Amino acid sequence: MLYDKIQLIIKRLMLAVPTLFGVLVISFCLTRALPGDPAVYFAGAMADEASIQHVREKLGLDRSLPYQFLAYCNNLLNGELGQSLTTGQSVTYEIKARLPASLELTLLGLFMGLLIAIPLGILAALKPNTWIDHLCRVLVTAGASTPIFFSGLFLMFVFYYLLGWSPSPIGRLDFIYLEPPHVTGFYTIDALIIGDYEVFKAAFAQLLLPASTLALCALAPIARMTRSSMITALESEYVKAAKANGISTNMRVYVYALQNASLPLLTVIGLVFGFLLGGNVLVEKVYSWPGIGSFAIDALVASDYAAIQGFVLIMAVLFVTLNLIIDILYTLFDPRMGRNE
């Protein structure tokens, strides 16, 4: 059984290699197909023909496309993602600094979403058409229909501007604190590692509002999926059989039904996580969060090739890993998985 699972994991990892290479080629070609000439853009408004050519040569854009691609692959093998022109830093530095920021925010947002959505979905499934089911419905509809930039601005308006409960939305940490030394890149965890509770509190306070915004957004699909898959599970034969055998309600609901209901739920959580990580640009902008999403958007606007390619590549790696983790979790939750093969 364990051997089966390891084999499955290795197979999945092997499959990821051609996927990543495909992503590499496509992102390379697509960035080149973007309108605009980065050399012209970065030479500045006052530059003349000679200085544009100078920048072009410096960026290696005067070479043929296949040459540029090989050079890019060669750099990648050496662990270099190139220089971002918009931010003036190496793409590796940017990703190292920004990915943890986005991950910290997204994970907390997702966690908060799960914390509310799953119990809510279960309760709604246990008592369909009661007030809790209606509450679930209202929350799901509101969460799905409120655009993220609106809920972000609204929360900021109420909790920062009007009430003053939240710290000023100027990024990961107020300027009176110094960020903790880089270990994981998650400020909250890094602060705990060195035992600086004040910085932990400050970093956590900064996280709360943007994470709540994301949680609102994540809530809808998760609660809906929990409710429907729980209803299906509760009505299925094996739960009825368990009831007939006198197995306790808690056992039936939280072990038998929930375990089976968690399979579609897991898929949805994976999807929502990916969506939140790549799509929280608006939250990042509103809360001045130095995350990966706003980096990618700025790079796209400026046709910043290295930055876009680096972003796409990292996201591809993340998604492949995420899918892998979900597949592994599947095999844990569902005994049928991995055995038939």
Partner 1 sequence: MKKKCKSKINLLKKVTGHGLFTMSLLICISTNANANSRDETLVIVSGTSINSLDIHRAGTNRPSYQVAINMYDRLVSFGIKSEGEGNLKSDSTQIVPELATHWESVDGGTAYIFHLREDATFWDGTPVTAADVKWSFDRAVSLGGFPTVQMKAGGLSSPEQFEVIDEHTFKVIIGEANKLTLPDLAVPIPMVINSKLALQHVTKDDPWATEYLHKTPAGGGAYMLERWVPGQQLIYKRFDGWKNGDLPAMSRVIVRDVPSSSTRRALVERGDADVALDLPSKDVKELMSNPKLKVSSSTIDNTLHAIGLNLNFDPFSNPKVRQAIAYALPYQQIFDVAAYGLGKPMWGRESSKAESALWPQPFPYKTNIDKAKALLTEAGYQKGFSVPLSMNLDFAQWMEPTALLIQESLGKIGIDAPINKIPGASWRTKALVEKGLELHMKNFGGWLNYPDYYFFWAYLDGHLFNSMNFKSDEMKSLVDVTLKMSVDAPEYSTNVKRMIDIATDEVPMIPLWQPTLDVVMQKNVSGYVNWFHRQLDIRSFSKE
Amino acid (one-letter) located at 221: P
Stretch 140-169 residues interacting with partner 1 (CB under 8 A): 153, 156-157, 160-165, 168-169
**Which residues are CB-contacts of 173 (< 8 A; sequence separation ≥ 6)?**
179, 187, 199, 202, 203, 206
| Per-position x/- string for 265-304, each x denoting binding to partner 1 as judged by CB under 8 A, each - no binding | -------------------xxxxx-x---xx-----xxx-
Is residue 227 a contact point for partner 1 (CB under 8 A)?
A: no
Measure the CA–CA gap between 135 and 209, rounded to whole angstroms: 22
Structural tokens at position 112: 């908060």
CA atoms within 13 A on the CB side of 296: 24
Chain residues 22-41 in contact with partner 1, contact rule CB under 8 A: 34-38, 40-41
Q: How far apart are CA 299 and CA 279, in angstroms?
A: 15
86 binds partner 1 (CB under 8 A): yes
Q: Which is nearer to partner 1, 7 or 168 (CB)?
A: 168
Q: Is 187 in the site for partner 1 (CB under 8 A)?
A: no
| Footprint (CB under 8 A) of partner 1, residues 201-220 | none
Instruction: Output the six-digit token pair for 19.
Output: 């996927």
Q: What would the DSSP string read from start to end of 242-257? A: HHHTT--HHIIIIIII
As measured in angstroms, the least distance from the Cβ of 12 to partner 1 is: 34
Cβ proximity to partner 1, 75 vs 321, nearer residue: 75
**Contact status: 176 vs partner 1 (CB under 8 A):** yes
When the beta carbons of 21 and 154 are compared against partner 1, the nearer one is 154
Compute the least distance from the CB of residue 5 to partner 1, in Å.
Answer: 41
Size of the site for partner 1 (CB under 8 A): 56
User: 232 exposed, middle or buried (CB, 10 Å; 0-12, 13-18, 19+)?
Assistant: middle
